[in-house]
Amino acid sequence: MAMAAVLTVSAQDAEKPLLQNVMAYESVSLNGDWNYIVDVQEEGYYDYRMNPTRWGFFQNAKPQKPEDLIEYDFDKSPTMRIPSDWNTQDERLFFYEGTVWFYKKFSVESSAFKDKLALLWFGAVNYDSHVYVNGKHVGHHIGGFTPFNYDVTNLLREGDNNVIVKVDNKRHAEDVPTQIFDWWNYGGITRDVKLVKVPQLYIEDYSLQLEKTNGKSDKTRTISFSAHLNKKEAGHKVTVSIPELKLEQTFTTDADGNVQSSTFNVQSKKLQLWSPETPKLYEVSLSVDASTINDQIGFRTIETRDKQILLNGQPIFLRGISIHNEKPNGGGRANSVEDARTLLSWAKELGCNFVRLAHYPHHEEMVREAEKMGILVWSEIPVYWTIAWKNPATFENAKRQLTDMILRDHNRANIIIWSIANETPHSAERDDFLGRLAQYARSIDATRLISMAMEVTSASNYVNRLNDNMNKFVDVVSFNQYIGWYRDVNDAPKMKWEIPYNKPVIISEFGGGARYGYHGEKNQRWTEEFQENLYRENIAMLDKIEGLAGTTPWILKDFRSPRRVLPGIQDFYNRKGLYSDKGEKKKAFFVLQDWYKQKASQPLH
């Protein structure tokens, strides 16, 4: 890279499509201490836009003369550890929703990016962010849970550089999620920040998937491969190698820089399929011209047959749990490998082979650690409750988050379900919005199942009937129900279910709240005994549902929510966890664990 003077670069020029498998590239971490300024009235942004004689915060201006008026100074401002959320890092910001500016100084040597591109990569920023490098605006990103990156090659200079990020987590009716949601609105740069070194020509996206046998018991299996370069250039050689399978093949890009749907054949007996029992990952290398990246990829198939889910052609019952992307001890946004291992180990102890990562894409390490541990995944975008269905910008926002979720993780063998929504009230506008999302998801990844968490809308004489127009768009019918918690505590033993679709059924949520250590009678709310009895009665009820293919009760651990205000019980925590926030098991934990042990021992046909 030629170190150049700072140039003005528009967001459109700098923004690049999402780099898949960022972990495969050499990078400079920009994690650590960042200075920050709380900007309640957004003076550092709007004052400058209205009056350019004022110094915007993004300029990082310093007085040049004694009489210069500059009313901020990042160097004198406090620091915050990044990645993190500001709510748990600064007690003054616990409930804060608004704008905070973040500043990081870093050094670049002239040789560091020689003949390379420099991509500034963010794992996630919640929610609305403007990014500046050396005072120049490089991009504007909306959405709190998916990664994004910018080409900043021509903005870097020899020696000292800085990046400034304006982060705004205020809620709006047209956002995704919308204004009301039942989790903490953690603000800030919540996941890793990296300066990634990539070649001038690199593989921007690729896919390696095991094709289904369609009922045939062939002696060979087929692996499909496709790839897309960062440049639309024909004639480049892309080589894929899987040494353990003794497979290597070279393909040539077309005029759009693509390798289109090419295939390998491998003897069936040599291919070990990924499953919860044997989470086999193969070392894979991908090269274009002189550059090579590596990945670990598993091969499996997922499909449905009538009311069964088939993993590698065999029926499976998904013994699941829902999880929020919150740290296991003390709250705050989860963002590390250690966070992921702790939460997933709790799920494994419960007996899970499946987790629902609700209600938004979790950090990448969560998905990858689950893959290594043999845990299947439901991954979801935050189309939650009352979205602005008629607003085209809201649809594009949801579509972009869906795209980035799939682009980041579509080579992860453990993800078997893309979920497009949770508990959305019925309307024609909602059906159109979600129908288009489902069709789009299938168009960019037809190898996985599509689902969403529906609501039960019809109930009479202790018969619940699921009736949702989205049934024709999903592969798996999933719905949330809270009999015993939001409905009469005595209803479960009398309740029957009618699900008039010849598709597998997942109960995506059920449960109730209890404060760890609070004991009493089984009809006394908030006690562990109440939650324990609720689980017993719900399990007996749900076990009778025809086509039940899995459950993901709500939820693994207590999590923070501003909606949960009952003093002495909730204290701004949703208490539906089977673990307390500190990892203490409630009595209901053992009820679900025993049921999952039974399910694991029962053969499926």
pLDDT of residue 457: 65
Extract the tokens encoding 43. Answer: 């003076």
pLDDT of residue 70: 86
Extract the tokens encoding 239. Answer: 């080589």
pLDDT of residue 517: 98
pLDDT of residue 461: 77
DSSP 314-351: EE--EEEEEE-SB-TTT-SB--SHHHHHHHHHHHHHHT
d(CA 511, CA 533): 10
pLDDT of residue 9: 32
pLDDT of residue 13: 44
pLDDT of residue 8: 29
pLDDT of residue 2: 33
What top-level class would CATH report for the domain 11-199? mainly beta
pLDDT of residue 14: 58
Q: CA 399 from chain center: how many Å?
A: 14
Low-confidence ranges of the chain (pLDDT < 70): 1-15, 46-55, 215-217, 457-459
CB atoms inside a 10 Å sphere around CB 547: 18
pLDDT of residue 146: 97
pLDDT of residue 257: 95
DSSP 62-111: --SSTT------GGGS-EEEESS-HHHH-GGGTT--SEEEEEEEEEE-TT
End-to-end CA gap in the chain: 60
How many C-alpha atoms does 276 have within 13 Å on its Cβ side? 21
- Backbone φ, ψ for residue 97 (5° rounding): -130, 120
Choices 3.90.79, 2.60.40, 2.20.25, 2.40.128: CATH for 203-288: 2.60.40
CATH code of the domain occupying 304-601: 3.20.20.80
CB 101 within 8 A of CB 165: yes
pLDDT of residue 47: 54
d(CA 378, CA 365): 15
The domain locations on the chain are: 11-199, 203-288, 304-601
Task: Give, to the nearest 10 degrees, the angle between helix 587-601 and helix 528-542.
Answer: 20
pLDDT of residue 45: 78
- Backbone φ, ψ for residue 389 (5° rounding): -60, -30
Calculate Rg over the CA atoms of the chain: 25
pLDDT of residue 68: 83
